[in-house]
C-alpha cells in the first residue's frame, strides 16, 4: 500500500454537542497516514522540490526544523520516495516522535538548547541551525522551511475545499490552532473565497506572540510563536485572511474532552 495515496479526504463528523441549535463538526485529520494534517503540506513541499531538482534530489539531504509532526510526515514521504531526510529538533521533542521519524529511516539532529529553560521552545534555535546547515552544505542540503514555504500553505487550500464540500457549504466559523499559519491559513483562503462572512478563529498558546499577547515561556510545542522568532511568510498570508482571533480555544477543547471523555 502506498501511504501517499491515503493523504487527504479525511472525514468530517458531526460532534454531539448542543450549541443553541448550531452544529459543531470535527475534521478528522488524524485519519491521514501519520495521524496528522502535516501530511498534506509535507507532500506538497516534496513535490515542489522534485520539480526544482528532478533526479538530483536523491543526492541531497532534505532537512526540516520541526517539533515532531511535520518531521514525521516528511520522513514518511522521503522514505517512500527514496530521499534522505534529517529532522532538526530540540529538547521539547518527545521520544515517541523521534522513534516515529527513525522508523521511516529519518535522521535526527538535536540543537543546543542549553540556554533555554525547560518551558521554552527552541523554534528560533532550530530555524537558525537549519539555515546554517544549508549555508555550509555546498548545495547538498535542502531546507523545507515550513514557516515560509508557499507550497505548504497552498496544499491546505485543498483542506478548505474538502471542509466546504463535506459541510455542503453550511459554514459560519472555522476553528483551529495556529503555528506556521499554513494549515489554518490555507483552509481559510479557500473558505473565505466561497463565503465572504465566514469567520476564522485561530488559537495560540498563552505566552505566544502571534496576536500581540504578552510573551511568556510555554510548553505547547508545534503551535504559537515565541517572542524572538521572526514571523514567517505563511503566517503573514494567514493573518491577512483572518477576521477574528482568540487565544482560548485550547481551554474550550479541554472542556469538551472532560465533558465527553
Q: What is the domain range of residue 82?
A: 38-150
The pLDDT tens digits for 67-102 are 889 999 999 999 999 999 999 998 878 899 999 999
123 and 158 both lie in a single domain: no
Q: pLDDT exceeding 70 applies to what percent of the chain?
A: 85
R_g of the chain, CA atoms, integer Å: 18
146 and 156 both lie in a single domain: no
- Band of pLDDT at residue 64, cut at 50, 70 and 90: very high
Pairing of β 61-65 and β 84-89? parallel
The pTM score is: 0.88
Cα(27)–Cα(36) distance, integer angstroms: 11
Q: pLDDT exceeding 90 applies to what percent of the chain?
A: 55
Domain C-terminal end among 99, 117, 150 = 150
130 and 212 both lie in a single domain: no
The pLDDT tens digits for 192-248 are 899 878 888 887 777 776 777 777 766 566 676 766 677 788 888 887 776 444 444
Cα(190)–Cα(133) distance, integer angstroms: 35
- State the CATH number of the domain containing residue 94: 3.40.50.1100
| Contact of 62 with 86, CB cutoff 8 Å | yes
Mean pLDDT for the stretch of residues 44-67: 97
Q: Report the number of distinct structural domains present in the chain.
A: 2
Amino acid at each position: 500500500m502506498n501511504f501517499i495515496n491515503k493523504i487527504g479526504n479525511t472525514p468530517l463528523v458531526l460532534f454531539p454537542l448542543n450549541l443553541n441549535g448550531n452544529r459543531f463538526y470535527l475534521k478528522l485529520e488524524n485519519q491521514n497516514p501519520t495521524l496528522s494534517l502535516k501530511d498534506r503540506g509535507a507532500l506538497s513541499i516534496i513535490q515542489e522540490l522534485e520539480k526544482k531538482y528532478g533526479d538530483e534530489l536523491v543526492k541531497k539531504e532534505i532537512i526540516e526544523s520541526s517539533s515532531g509532526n511535520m518531521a514525521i510526515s516528511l520522513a514518511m514521504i522521503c522514505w517512500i520516495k527514496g530521499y534522505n531526510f534529517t529532522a532538526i529538533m530540540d529538547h521539547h521533542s518527545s521520544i515517541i516522535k523521534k522513534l516515529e521519524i527513525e522508523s521511516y529511516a529519518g535522521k535526527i539532529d538535536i540543537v543546543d538548547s542549553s540556554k533555554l529553560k525547560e518551558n521554552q521552545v527552541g523554534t528560533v534555535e532550530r530555524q537558525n541551525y537549519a539555515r546554517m546547515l544549508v549555508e555550509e552544505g555546498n548545495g547538498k542540503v535542502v531546507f523545507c522551511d515550513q514557516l515560509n514555504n508557499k507550497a505548504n500553505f497552498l496544499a491546505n487550500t485543498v483542506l478548505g475545499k474538502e471542509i466546504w464540500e463535506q459541510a455542503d457549504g453550511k459554514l459560519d466559523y472555522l476553528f483551529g490552532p495556529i503555528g506556521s499559519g499554513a494549515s489554518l491559513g490555507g483552509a481559510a483562503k479557500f473558505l473565505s473565497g466561497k463565503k465572504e462572512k465566514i469567520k476564522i478563529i485561530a488559537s495560540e498558546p498563552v505566552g505566544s506572540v502571534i496576536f500581540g499577547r504578552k510573551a511568556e515561556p510555554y510548553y505547547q510545542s508545534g503551535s504559537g510563536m515565541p517572542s524572538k522568532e521572526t514571523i514567517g511568510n505563511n503566517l503573514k498570508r494567514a493573518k491577512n485572511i483572518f477576521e477574528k482571533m482568540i487565544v482560548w480555544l485550547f481551554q474550550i477543547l479541554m472542556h469538551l474532552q472532560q465533558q465527553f471523555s
